[in-house]
Amino acid sequence: MNAPDSFPAEPSTFLLDGPVGAIEVATEPAHPKSHANGCGIAVICHPHPLHGGTMHNKVVTIIERSVRELGFDTVRFNFRGIGKSVGEFDEGDGESDDLAAIVEWARQVRPGVVIWLAGFSFGSYVALRNAKSLDADALITIAPPVGRWKFDSIELPDCPWLVVQGEEDEVVDPELVFDWVGALSVSPQLVRMPETSHFFHRRLMDLRGAIKNAMRAHLPKPSDPA
């Protein structure tokens, strides 16, 4: 189906016209029992496309579950070259353009909407490097790949920002992440998860709790646009 002109009321998949062609998108409405149902839209970015990353990654889907339970509608999408998304991997540059196209659509279908950006691993790098330019209202970065991508030139966001890092991550060096957070000119909330690997094996429910506990304080007030 073509991209809808309103946010779907039911779980949906469709193709959105992106910078180099179709982007495969999946949307979910907020959990019906959430106290802040439909308070905004969270756009979630998946891990590295060349290492098996897709919008169906289990960490991506647990992020989605967490923010839906907080009251956010969600958007997952495949970066270019993955699934039905057209194009080829572009070292984070084209993927940033893909993210911008998704956010543009979200704001078209819900003018004035509160936008949260989130990502896991490479997806957290893409979300972070665009949070400021896309005027995100909050940011969630899970296992940001410090040391693997250029984090020193990123314009840092001034919105609420959560960083979650496993202490036994075998892909991203945890100490590099902790040192990087400690040296930042802004102060994101850092959650260190002991005995936790990169893919949060046996710790996904703990990750869900960490996201919900940290981000609940940043939910839009009832008067905020949604």
Q: How confident is the model at residue 36 (pLDDT cuts 50, 70, 90)?
A: confident
Q: What is the pLDDT of residues 186-221, one digit of tens each?
A: 999 999 999 999 999 999 999 999 999 999 999 998
| Residue (of 63, 71, 64) closest to 114 by Cα position | 71
| Residue (of 100, 147, 85, 159) closest to 121 by Cα position | 147
Half-sphere exposure of 172 (CA within 13 A, CB side): 31
Distance CA 141, CA 211 (A): 10
Instruction: Give all domains of the chain, ordered by start, each with its CATH number.
Output: 12-218 (3.40.50.1820)
Q: What is the pLDDT of residues 59-89, one digit of tens each?
A: 999 999 999 999 999 999 999 999 999 999 9
For residues 116-141, average pLDDT = 98
What phi, psi does 128 have (nearest 5°)? -65, -45
Statement: residue 224 has pLDDT above 80: no
Secondary structure class of 70 (helix, strand, coil): helix
| pLDDT recorded at residue 47 | 98
Q: What is the pLDDT of residues 84-104, one digit of tens each?
A: 999 999 999 999 999 999 999
Cβ-Cβ contacts under 8 Å for 189 (sequence gap 6 or more) = 160, 161, 162, 163, 214
Percent of the chain topping pLDDT 70:
97
Statement: residue 223 has pLDDT above 70: no
| pLDDT recorded at residue 129 | 98
Alpha helices in 38-121 (DSSP H): 58-70, 93-109
| pLDDT recorded at residue 34 | 87
| pLDDT recorded at residue 29 | 97
Distance CA 198, CA 59 (A): 10
| pLDDT recorded at residue 38 | 82
For the chain, give the mean pLDDT: 95
Statement: residue 35 has pLDDT above 90: no
Distance CA 143, CA 150 (A): 15
Cβ-Cβ contacts under 8 Å for 168 (sequence gap 6 or more) = 174, 194, 195, 196, 197
Distance CA 67, CA 174 (A): 24
In angstroms, what CA-CA distances link 36 with 27, 71, 73?
18, 5, 11
| pLDDT recorded at residue 33 | 85
| pLDDT recorded at residue 99 | 98
Quick one: tokens of 59? 């960490």
Distance CA 115, CA 128 (A): 13
| pLDDT recorded at residue 2 | 81
Q: What is the pLDDT of residues 147-193, one digit of tens each?
A: 999 999 999 999 999 999 999 999 999 999 999 999 999 999 999 99
What phi, psi does 141 have (nearest 5°)? -120, 120
| pLDDT recorded at residue 10 | 97
